[in-house]
Structure 1
Amino acid sequence: MIHVVSAHNKAEYKSYLRQLWQQRYDVFVEKMGWSLDCADGIERDQFDRPDTVYLLCIDEKDRLKGGMRLLPTTKPHLMSDLFPHLCAEGVPSGDTTWEISRFYSLTGRHMMLERDKTASELICGLYEYALMNRIEKVSCVASMVLFPTILKAGWDVTPLGLPTVTDDEVILAFLIDLNERDYKTVAQNRKITESVLYAPNLREEQWEIAV
């Protein structure tokens, strides 16, 4: 289940946010070798702000299995401050465009299926949250290695510029359209047949996906 954590309910998720920043350190610094300016054991930066929205995948045993960060592009965000050179025609911004970053799911040698389930729920949770909050597009910077997988998943993706090499990794900036048509395609490809979003503060009922 995907939990939406924002300024309205962060107090209820303090322990999960501590786990989030610890897991991000393990994934991005320890495993992926990113050169990030962070304290030992904690990956938390200037974009983890009071207005940051998190999507957290929490399983039935209350374990945090993965997460994603969302930022409004009308304020400073990762692409505007650190990667504007990746956008040939300027960094996209606006009330209906948000940025996603620090997207991960816990992985392991014997956890491939669980990894896929976590990623699938996070992706579909993003679509659900966006459709409920009039978010039409999300921007992202990601490794080119992931780009074929993103396209195959059914996302409507527009590159914002040419790939470039950073820290020995080829990265690309792009926009993703978030609409109901593509949501149904992505959900079907990911074998998600019902709502994954736990957000009692946003709505009263869950709704099934028509696929």
Structure 2
Amino acid sequence: MLSFEQGVSARVPDALMADMYRDRKRVFIDLLGWDLPVLDDKFEIDQFDSPDTLYLIVGQPDGTHLGSMRLLPTDRPTIIGDFFEHLCDTGAPRSGQVWELSRLCLSPRIRAAERRGVRNRLLTSAVQFALRNGISGYCCVTHAWYLPEVMAYGWQCRPLGLPQFDPGGMVGALEISINEETPRLMAEAGTWDETPVQTYVDAALGEGGVQ
């Protein structure tokens, strides 16, 4: 199941959303040791998880989270704009046509063989979402050791500046261009996955996409 979900409440009532936040705590806080806020000692939720936030989630019908990412337009508050602008030589992107990818989270409960498939499904769906909604690019902040892997996914991307030291290690910022050539380039790199899945779009988005 692939789901586009919008928004978060303090109670985290939805099973799939709740499991996503649990896995985010397991990955980013328990495993990676990031200093992030925790809700009820269970959920990793920060100030960017708002009623306007969009999430791309791969999960099972019973509400089990397999993988997810968060999508934020950069004309609103973002991680890169609020905390990592110093990584960008000409300033962080600030445009409704450039969105931030953050909190790419693969459940630690799934096997290594599944992780690649879930990751590719998320990447493909993010590109499909961008092409349908007039988004020309994504940006992200990641650890320096992960930058070569992100750049090898097949899409066209460029560093926004040199990696710099952060308390959690060396980090860098990238901007990823999305255009009609992106699906072909990702297919050549082996990361494009059009496996048929049922897609749910939150009613607040409208039938035509992001409003």
Q: 1:71 touches 1:99 (CA, 8 Å); kept in 2?
A: yes
In the TM superposition, what is the alpha-carbon distance from 1:37 to its structure 2 partner?
3.0
Aligned runs of 1:4-23 on 2, under 5 Å? Answer: 4-7=4-7, 14-23=14-23
**1:98-157 Cα deviation digits (max 9, x unpaired):** 11100011235x711101111011110101111111111111000111111122221211
What is the TM-score of this pair, normalised by structure 1?
Answer: 0.85
Aligned runs of 1:1-211 on 2, under 5 Å? Answer: 1-7=1-7, 14-39=14-39, 40-59=41-60, 62-107=63-108, 111-188=111-188, 189-190=190-191, 192-194=193-195, 198-199=199-200
In the TM superposition, what is the alpha-carbon distance from 1:191 to its structure 2 partner?
5.6
**1:22-55 Cα deviation digits (max 9, x unpaired):** 1100000001111113342211010001110000
What is the TM-score of this pair, normalised by structure 2?
Answer: 0.85
Which residue identity does 2:78 align to in structure 1? H
Which residue identity does 2:99 align to in structure 1? W
In the TM superposition, what is the alpha-carbon distance from 1:62 to its structure 2 partner?
4.5
Pair 49,100 (structure 1): closer, same or farther in 2 beyond 3 Å: same
Q: Provide the identity percentage.
A: 30
Task: Mark the runs of 5 or more structure 1 residues left unpaired by the alignment.
Answer: 8-12, 205-211
RMSD (Å) for aligned C-alpha atoms: 2.5
Which residue identity does 2:118 align to in structure 1? T
Pair 111,103 (structure 1): closer, same or farther in 2 beyond 3 Å: same
**1:53-98 Cα deviation digits (max 9, x unpaired):** 0000113664210110011111111111111111110111111111
Write the distance in 1 (CA, Å) between the matches of 2:23 and 2:181: 33
**1:176-195 Cα deviation digits (max 9, x unpaired):** 11122112321451262445
Write the distance in 2 (CA, Å) between the matches of 1:61 and 1:17: 12
Q: 1:128 touches 1:197 (CA, 8 Å); kept in 2?
A: no
Pair 58,122 (structure 1): closer, same or farther in 2 beyond 3 Å: same
Q: 1:165 touches 1:171 (CA, 8 Å); kept in 2?
A: yes
Write the distance in 1 (CA, Å) between the matches of 2:179 and 2:170: 28
Q: 1:125 touches 1:196 (CA, 8 Å); kept in 2?
A: no
Q: 1:73 touches 1:92 (CA, 8 Å); kept in 2?
A: yes
Write the distance in 2 (CA, Å) between the matches of 1:47 and 1:106: 21
Pair 191,181 (structure 1): closer, same or farther in 2 beyond 3 Å: closer
Q: 2:156 touches 2:177 (CA, 8 Å); kept in 1?
A: yes
Q: How many residues of Structure 1 are paired with residues of Structure 2 in the alignment?
A: 201
**1:159-201 Cα deviation digits (max 9, x unpaired):** 1111011124111011011122112321451262445571456
